[in-house]
Amino acid sequence: MTRVGRRRLGLASACLALVGLAGWSVLVVPDQLIVTTTTIVLPRWPRAQDGLRVIAISDIHAGSPYVDVLKLRALVSLTNAQQPDLVALLGDYVIQDVVGGRFMAPETAASELGALRARLGVYAVLGNHDYWLDGPRVKRAFTAAGIAVIDDEVRPVRTSQGELWLIGIHDIWTGWPDVGSLMRRVPPGPPTLALTHNPDIFPSLPPGIDLLLAGHTHGGQVRLPLLGSLIVPSSYGQRYALGHVVESGRHLFVTPGVGTSIVPIRFRVPPEISLLILKSVSAGGG
């Protein structure tokens, strides 16, 4: 084969590879749904609550490509199969505009998600898309489905293993919350989990929160080898794009979500149900 022929063959192979990756990113990965398990050792976590199983789900964007009623039912079934102690829903249940998607009413999505089951309950906060649509409407839909919406609220969860407090922090794109005021309503001592949509609130959190759960970033939707996620809807770039982050002794977990936004593409960031196992240092967790 001539040098020109080899170059043409190489170019053709590269083009085929790009087409294949594009097809994989549009037709395969967004339609997946996986469960990942992450063990998080928390310095203040009590021995009595060691091994608490928390499911974090965010950015369902019901109505986006591949997120129809059947997908919501699969999400519920797979979540319930993990036998979680607590389920945290972290916002953006609806979608306004996405290529290839179709609007799904929050009442429909909430009705399906109302079948989620957890020993200590199912709790939710709202995301920017929910507020852009109609925050009170989304809250009413989820409340009617039996899901506790705790935006700008604190909630005690009492168990036979002791007390746990939940803090629902308002989405910062649609109104900066007064976290200090929320914290003053939480008694000192018990373990505290905070739920929010956007992880950019993390650096400004006051002391006393053992773990912040967030979504919003979709993990960038596309993660390139070596380069990571080039486009992340965060003021901090890739810093809070995905997974467990520890800074100055504080802990954050960002789940990459289920649906898609803007463009229906995911590459190396499949839709995820995040199962977190919370461990105590005193119980030998670290």
**178 and 264 belong to one structural domain:** yes
The string of pLDDT tens digits covering residues 9-39 is: 343 333 333 334 444 345 455 678 999 999 9
**21 and 88 belong to one structural domain:** no
**69 and 192 belong to one structural domain:** yes
**205 and 235 belong to one structural domain:** yes
**pLDDT number for residue 29:** 56
**85 and 127 belong to one structural domain:** yes
d(CA 117, CA 80): 6
Q: Which domain holds residue 26?
A: 1-31
C-alpha gyration radius of the chain = 20
Average pLDDT, the chain: 88
Identify the CATH number of the domain in which residue 214 sits. Answer: 3.60.21.10
At residue 232, does pLDDT exceed 60?
A: yes
Q: Which residue shows structure tokens 């997120």?
A: 67
**140 and 199 belong to one structural domain:** yes
**71 and 145 belong to one structural domain:** yes
**pLDDT number for residue 283:** 64
For residue 164, list its beta bridge partners.
157
**15 and 37 belong to one structural domain:** no
d(CA 226, CA 231): 14
**21 and 151 belong to one structural domain:** no
At residue 75, does pLDDT exceed 80?
A: yes
**230 and 278 belong to one structural domain:** yes
**16 and 131 belong to one structural domain:** no
Which among 146, 148, 194 is positioned nearest to 171, based on CA atoms? 194
The total of structural domains in the chain comes to 2
The string of pLDDT tens digits covering residues 111-168 is: 999 999 999 999 999 999 999 999 999 999 999 999 999 999 999 999 888 899 999 9
**91 and 228 belong to one structural domain:** yes
Burial 67-106 (b: 16+ CB within 10 A, else e): bbeebbeebbeebeeeebbbbbbbbbbbbeebeebeebeb
